[in-house]
Amino acid sequence: MLPPLAPEEQSHSLRLAAHIREALAAAGGWLSFERFMELALYAPGLGYYSAGSVKLGAGGDFVTAPEVSDLFSRCIARQCAAVLMRTGGGILELGAGTGRMAAALLTELAAQHALPERYAILEVSADLAQRQRERLACLPPALRERVVWLERLPAQPLHGVMLANEVADALPCRRFRFGAGGLSELGVVLDAASDGPTTSSTPVRFRDGAVTADASLARAVDEILTGLPEPLPPGYTSEVCLRIAPWIDALSACLARGLLLLCDYGLSRRHYYHPQRVSGTLRCHFRQRAHDDPYINLGVQDITAWVDFTRVAEAAVGAGLEVSGFATQAAFLLGLGVEGLVTEAGAGIERTRLAGEARRLLVPEEMGEAFKMMALCRDLDIPLAGFALQDLRHLL
Ligand SMILES: C[S@@+](CC[C@H](N)C(=O)[O-])C[C@H]1O[C@@H](n2cnc3c(N)ncnc32)[C@H](O)[C@@H]1O
């Protein structure tokens, strides 16, 4: 059971539903799921990330690793320090959420005398960018003055580190199904009950609508199948994010030398498209509850899909980057000495608190296994401690 919407959430949701209904009508009655997800998350002023709901943190819909504990960001800071030592330059964080990771990273890098020349943030959500500004305004001036917000990727390629924690899973994806008639694309149509005239308070309902897959989707699914050890059963439904490659291309074009570090929940392809994962990985998050109905709570719930890290790796190689590491979050944090950060807190209540946070980040039943870290490098010839404990051949 999901909690009911507050009245203002209800009216927000109705406004977004009406907007999507118009887009659906303009498109002839069918929208790809990718377009639906784009509108649900990013429609100006209405989408989940474009409007004012709390989103991240204990009072929001979901909690990310930087929100669970600064231990996560302090470990990332150690990895950044090693890279910055070699490359100089700065850090660019994509999709910085509440700004908590930026604050913790800068604080740790200052403690290690390894501050970047500049800490740039590229954030598509105006609402979250405002929260980041408020949070980072509390930093000491020597740190605060290094932070800048960008409207687009920098024209001048970066030396240093690019970071994206839980951004790839927020890129809109397409959905497919193997049916009796072959491969189809699952898009979005209006539910029959919503066919009539509507008023501002009439609920509009959407549902899955299957059409024959077009050439781009068919090619992508073919490529997926080619790399799998066994065929997928009839009825198998999943998703594929065709925006990964252009996104990685764009990021690669901005990296002159250094590390692009991606953190997200995801799998290598053969695990992602496992025959037993018959319904895919699409998930919605609303007030700390996960469910799989993207057509409810429009604009007030997050919609995500896990990341196919093989797709990321292929895109990176295609863009001229080296895939230098792939590790579970647990292996990454242990490689960077997270245990030491807990033990150095002494024996009191602070240590107990940190140990609890570390547990949440590390154990497989929580975030330790499902979340992965991938290192994509250009012209960087240093060992990366975060990837020392895991051999990427076993994972890809
Ligand atoms: C799930 S939240 C993660 C926030 C933060 N990184 C964290 O871990 O707490 C996704 C973030 O990515 C941002 N975002 C989504 N698409 C983006 C894109 N193409 N470029 C940059 N940021 C993006 C969202 O606005 C949001 O800040």
Quote the tokens at residue 334: 């242990």
Residues 6+ apart with CB under 8 A from 328: 368, 369, 371, 372, 373, 390
Predicted local confidence at residue 227, as pLDDT: 87
Predicted local confidence at residue 199, as pLDDT: 56
Predicted local confidence at residue 393, as pLDDT: 60
Distance 166 CA to ligand 1 centre (A): 6
Q: Terminus-to-terminus CA distance in the chain, angstroms?
A: 37
Query: Atom 22 (ligand 1): residue with closest C-alpha?
Result: 95
Q: Return per-residue pLDDT of the chain as tens, 396 residues.
A: 889 999 999 999 999 999 999 999 999 999 999 999 999 999 999 999 988 777 888 788 889 999 999 999 999 999 999 999 999 999 999 999 999 999 999 999 999 999 999 999 999 999 899 999 999 999 999 999 999 999 999 999 999 999 999 999 999 999 999 988 889 999 999 997 776 655 555 678 999 999 999 999 999 999 999 989 998 999 999 999 999 999 999 999 999 999 999 999 999 999 999 999 999 999 999 999 999 999 999 999 999 999 999 999 999 999 999 999 999 999 999 999 999 999 998 888 999 999 999 999 999 999 999 999 999 999 999 999 999 987 666 566
Distance 98 CA to ligand 1 centre (A): 10
Which is it for the CA torsion 16, 30, 28, 205, positive or negative?
Answer: negative
Distance 20 CA to ligand 1 centre (A): 22
Distance 49 CA to ligand 1 centre (A): 8
Q: How far is CA 366 from CA 12, 135, 356, in A?
A: 32, 27, 12
The predicted model scores a pTM of: 0.95
Predicted local confidence at residue 56, as pLDDT: 86
Which is it for the CA torsion 146, 147, 151, 152, positive or negative?
Answer: positive
Predicted local confidence at residue 159, as pLDDT: 98
Q: Of 394, 363, 347, 330, which is closest to residue 72 (Cα–Cα)?
A: 330
Query: Atom 12 (ligand 1): residue with closest C-alpha?
Result: 95
Predicted local confidence at residue 197, as pLDDT: 59
Query: Atom 14 (ligand 1): residue with closest C-alpha?
Result: 95
Ligand 1: which residues within 6 Å by Cβ? 49, 56, 64, 66-67, 94-97, 122-125, 128, 165-167, 170
Ligand 1, closest atom to CA 56?
9
- Give me the amino acid identity at 199: T
Predicted local confidence at residue 298, as pLDDT: 96
396 three-class SS: coil
Q: Of 55, 29, 12, which is closest to residue 286 (Cα–Cα)?
A: 55
Q: Cβ(93)–Cβ(119) under 8 Å?
A: yes
Residue with tokens 């895939």: 323
